[in-house]
Chain A
Amino acid sequence: MSKTHIKGKVWKFGDDINTDIIIWGKYKYSILDLKELSKHAMEAISPGFAEKISSGDIIVAGKNFGCGSSREHAPLVLKYAGVGAVVAKFFARIFYRNAFAVGLPVIECPELFDKSKEGDEFEIDLEKGVILNLNNNESFKIKPMPSFLLDILKEGSLVEHFKKHGGF
């Protein structure tokens, strides 16, 4: 499975999931190791989240996911916790940018929230721009991403992308 082809179970969250819910600010300074820090991902509303999920699982959320501070720790801990992608109605702007910078696939798909249940199996193909609900075969179109963004995700982060290509 490549990083642009994601398969996993759905974990549902509501609207306005802010960066403090994703990772409590109090941990930011006390835990420096990202693997350690990622154990606390989503802890504020879903204790034990990082332990419950399997690698590749998908967060499906409502509107304005990632609002709050511009800290890059928020997308990083989700990535380190094993989240394969976040699909939301829409994202807070800086979270969206930071997600690409750290290599966490984020997808806007407003309909998905109402048409998915926690535990549904999903498959996402970012190159084709399709999300498929494996439980009922319902598919959703998303705007295919430009190739440079796909490359950043495939290579793991913007830093890796620049290391390899020396630019976009």
Chain B
Amino acid sequence: MGLTISEKIFRDHSNEKVVAGDFTVADIDIAMAHDGTAPLAIDNFEDMGGKKVWDPSKIVLILDHLSPSPHTSASIVHKQMREFARKYKIQNFFDIGSGVCHQILPEKGFINTGNLVVGADSHTCTHGALGAFSTGIGSTDMAAVFYSGKLWFRVPETFRIEVSGKLHPFVLAKDLILHIIGQIRADGATYKAVEFCGETVKGFDIASRMTLCNMAVEMGAKTGLVSPDKKTLDYLENRVPSSGKVVENDPDAEFEETFNFEVDDLSPQIAYPPFVDNVRPIEEYEGTDVDQIFLGSCTNGRLEDLQIAAKILDGKKIHEDVRMIVMPASRDIYLRTIKDGLAEIFLNAGCCINNPGCGPCVGGHAGILAPGEVCLSTTNRNFEGRMGEKGQIYLGSPATAAATALKGVIADPRELEA
């Protein structure tokens, strides 16, 4: 019987002939923690009696959740992390303004095909877009990884999501993944590795594939995956220190289930509050009043996302009844935003550009809603209170965000003349 990508990656990292459903202890290639999760991991590491970390070059620490620090307790956490990095000689320490963890890892070449990656953050599944197995873990698990470089896993079964058809230019990977989550539901893929495939996914750039994989966790998945191809290798070239192992499914690999999606006529999608799987076509929510628009996050803060929004906003002003926050997902993207003239478009349109980080996505600072206010956000979660107590979050694509900013109400980007 053939093997899936996940089964092969776990075999490579555990030296055991594991198949889906088996438990194993595997070697980790890269471990990431940020200012939301590192503190407890550090405490537990020290509690375990850790004297040195397993491999300082394989640990990445990032200050992104509250960056720059908005209050003393965050400052204390940041200080603890800086000191930990110094003490254990962790060079891959990214201080404030570097960007969101899930952008930094791929952009700076920490992710390679065939890798086994863990992050103390649920959206670590993003990196499956590059053909790695990458998943979120808790802080105590992370302490065990800091200590030993190993972690236990249950090898997941695989769901295949096969997508065919051509999307409208203003209907994006975000709309597709929202649609998929609406169908499979928030717990429909619990534990599974979800592999996105088919001609539509093959046609997607890496940024779009990351958007898909990023949200796999919103259907309960352990990771999202896209089988590596030429686009993957092109992206990795000049980023990773050496080429990785390209791991693909065997032709007779066994998948637990296959879902088919045909997307020729897909509308932009909206996830209405307070659950990510509350997904409806935009037609049903057009005209909904909003107060704030947020363009950014590990889901949609990449250059491609900013480009499409800038294209829509070019030479125009956002509606006087709304405010729009733009947050490039990394310093490199921020620089490109400036160099390529996107920053000027956003500023002239009346947007506020924040420094790279998570910002309002997690409700820590930099764009918190007042009770009862509504945000159209390109992020990945619309749970009650996530962007501020009693604030309402509608999730949509960068194109929908820009169209909504112009109209001042939720608006369909397809209706804007190009």
Contact = CB atoms under 8 A, between A and B. Distances in A.
A binds B: yes
B23 interface: yes
Contact of A101 (B141, B187, B222): B141
Given A93-B222, A94-B122, A162-B147, A67 B186 contact: yes
Contacts of A167: 147-148, 150
A158 B148 CA distance: 12
A70 B141 CA distance: 12
Contacts of B25: 148, 168
B140 A98 contact: yes
Interface in B132-155: 136-141, 143-144, 147-148, 150, 152
B136 A70 contact: yes
A92 B220 CA distance: 7
Given A90-B191, A159-B143, A101 B220 contact: no
A90 B191 CA distance: 9
Contact of B140 (A64, A101, A149): A101
Interface residues of A, number: 28
B337 interface: no
Interface in B20-57: 23, 25, 40, 44, 47-49
Contacts of A100: 152
B190 interface: yes
A168 B190 contact: no
Contact of A158 (B23, B141, B220): B141
Contacts of A166: 49, 147-148
A162 B47 CA distance: 9
A145 interface: yes
Interface string A143-168: 00110110000000111001100111
Contacts of A42: none
A72 interface: yes
A16 interface: yes
A41 interface: no
A72 B150 contact: no
A92 B191 CA distance: 8
A19 to B, nearest CB: 11
Given A148-B25, A168-B148, A158 B191 contact: no
A97 interface: yes
B140 A90 contact: no
Interface in B175-213: 186-187, 190-191
A9 interface: no
A102 interface: yes
Contacts of A97: 137-138, 141
Interface residues of B, number: 26
Nearest to B151: A168
Contact of B48 (A148, A149, A159): A159
Interface in A93-121: 93-94, 97-98, 100-102
A98 B142 CA distance: 11
A40 interface: no
B332 to A, nearest CB: 28
Contacts of A158: 44, 140-141, 143-144
A79 B53 CA distance: 29
A91 B191 CA distance: 9
B141 A93 contact: no
Contacts of B44: 158-159
A149 B23 contact: yes
Contact of B23 (A102, A146, A163): A146
A119 B49 CA distance: 42
B187 A16 contact: yes
Contact of A148 (B138, B141, B143, B152): B152
Contacts of A72: 40, 138-140
A149 B151 CA distance: 11
Contacts of B140: 72, 98, 101-102, 157-159
A101 B150 contact: no
A63 interface: yes
B248 to A, nearest CB: 25
Given A72-B138, A97-B138, A90 B190 contact: yes
Contacts of B48: 159, 162-163
Contacts of B191: 90, 93
A163 B143 CA distance: 12
A93 B186 CA distance: 12
Contacts of A67: 186-187, 220
Given A67-B187, A70-B122, A168-B150, A98 B23 contact: no
Interface of A: 16, 63-64, 67, 70, 72, 90-94, 97-98, 100-102, 145-146, 148-149, 157-159, 162-163, 166-168
* Closest A-B pairs by Cβ, 10 of them: A101-B140, A162-B48, A64-B187, A146-B23, A98-B138, A167-B148, A168-B25, A158-B140, A159-B47, A159-B48
Given A70-B122, A92-B220, 8 more contacts: A64-B220, A67-B187, A72-B138, A72-B139, A90-B191, A92-B187, A94-B136, A159-B44
